[in-house]
Structure 1
């Protein structure tokens, strides 16, 4: 089996407000809007996508991790956009984490010094 793309789904109840918030988080408009008012998508890596979807039953339960190349610089960019992730926390093997929660309660963690092999 060959998998060509990975799509991470973030469920929300207030789709329009969440759409605006994720545009601020990602620093740009969505790349696709396949279902107006129900689903938008951002291509965040070559084959990795974030889908924001209206889902009353699952909203606020999402967990999303983004590995970034320069965590302090990334957090500074978010601060400039009016978004304030938590402090950087040092965890195992030099990895750093910082978390922000969207208005729906979905948890987004930014990972610094991520490696494929530890």
Structure 2
């Protein structure tokens, strides 16, 4: 696959690991670690996909997701929620708000790359809930 991913993740070691994994798989990855300025980062980077943590400093990833879906410019942008929150209710909430996919930490490198590639191959979001 390939393209530009904006990774919104506040844990430096996770940000570095995911950047390495996805770069090796052919993706250009830019990181951002603050929820309060995440929307500005999305507008500035204009990514092909966003990988978004739920728990961020400054602003919840779910609030960011809600705002991205409300904006016509980002309403159809593939967004993978990547979080330690693995309860069914957390997944349901994210999908109801418009997440294209949901992957819980810890995850395998292969699962992450496969999920990203699947979401990129179907940008209309037909894979909602997968991952």
* Bigger strand share: 1
Task: State the structure with more CA Rg.
Answer: 1
Structure number with the bigger relative contact order (C-alpha 8 A, sep ≥ 6) is: 1
TM-score normalised to the size of structure 1?
0.29
* Bigger helix share: 2
